[in-house]
Amino acid sequence: MADAIFTVRDLVKSFGGLRAVDGATFEVARGSITALIGPNGAGKTTLFNLATGFIKPDRGAIELEGHSVFGRAPHTVARRGMGRTFQITKALAAMTVLDNMMLAAPDQPAERLIGLATHAFTWRRQERAIRERAMELLERFRLASLANAYAGTLSGGQRKLLEFARLLMTRPRLVLLDEPLAGVNPVLGQQILAHVHELRTEQGITFLFIEHDMEVVMNNADSVIVMAFGKVIASGLPSEVRRDQRVIDAYLGAHAEDVA
């Protein structure tokens, strides 16, 4: 691939006797919107967890922007520019929406004790700048009126948006979305997808998302990666992949009618 922002090669992870990821290999093109699909139990979320450092891989290679992130801690991976959302939204419920957002801003010296000392007089200024940026993002996602509400009081859909907006505060280059439309009403789902496209166009952010709805994939993804039984069995354009016999076979018994 010409410009791959993210590559995985021969990645393996076993839990006890079970090979959750069994030699997965694929690339994600920079600036693309790529879908990761596959039947349940194919290893998609495990792959996300391995890529973002939440699970330690057994062997293989994981590279972001050409540098290895194999076995790195989640916070390191996040700082390198790979952000993610979670299948079950992790809005920090006991903190306000605004706090959630401001937390996510990178490069805050005042987050370190030493930094508080050295920047004793300037950190509040930085806080104001961060707050402005946070409010801008909240405006974009139409959550600004909820800035001072506890995140725990938000609806499911609002929390999804918050998690997304919060993630964008970290200025990611690659965003991994774990089933971004799960449990969300269609209108909100369309809004989320619209944001994805806008952000890709405006800022060149690459998106890799796990999705089960084939129509969404067909309509939104530039490229599709198909996983089954811990391996990548096919990848390419959505139109190619849907006709691939291996993919049809993998889905047989699950969603054959979706792919055909």
* Cα-based distances in Å from 61 to 26, 49, 58, 153, 227: 11, 14, 10, 41, 17
Interacting residue ranges for another protein, rule: CB under 8 A: 52-54, 73-75, 78-79, 83-84, 86, 90, 92-95, 99, 102-104, 106, 108, 110-113, 115-116, 123, 127, 150, 152, 166-167, 170
Q: Between residues 162 and 247, which has the closer beta carbon with respect to another protein?
A: 162
Q: Between residues 2 and 114, which has the closer beta carbon with respect to another protein?
A: 114
Give strand pairing partners of 206: 174
What is the closest distance, in whole angstroms, from the C-beta atom of residue 9 to another protein in the complex? 24
What is the closest distance, in whole angstroms, from the C-beta atom of residue 94 to another protein in the complex? 5
What is the closest distance, in whole angstroms, from the C-beta atom of residue 157 to another protein in the complex? 18
Q: Between residues 39 and 180, which has the closer beta carbon with respect to another protein?
A: 180
Write the CB contacts of 79 (distance below 8 Å, at least 6 apart in sequence): 106
What is the closest distance, in whole angstroms, from the C-beta atom of residue 252 to another protein in the complex? 35
Give the up-direction half-sphere exposure of residue 142: CA atoms within 13 A in the CB hemisphere. Answer: 6
Q: Between residues 4 and 167, which has the closer beta carbon with respect to another protein?
A: 167
What is the closest distance, in whole angstroms, from the C-beta atom of residue 34 to another protein in the complex? 20
Q: Between residues 112 and 243, which has the closer beta carbon with respect to another protein?
A: 112
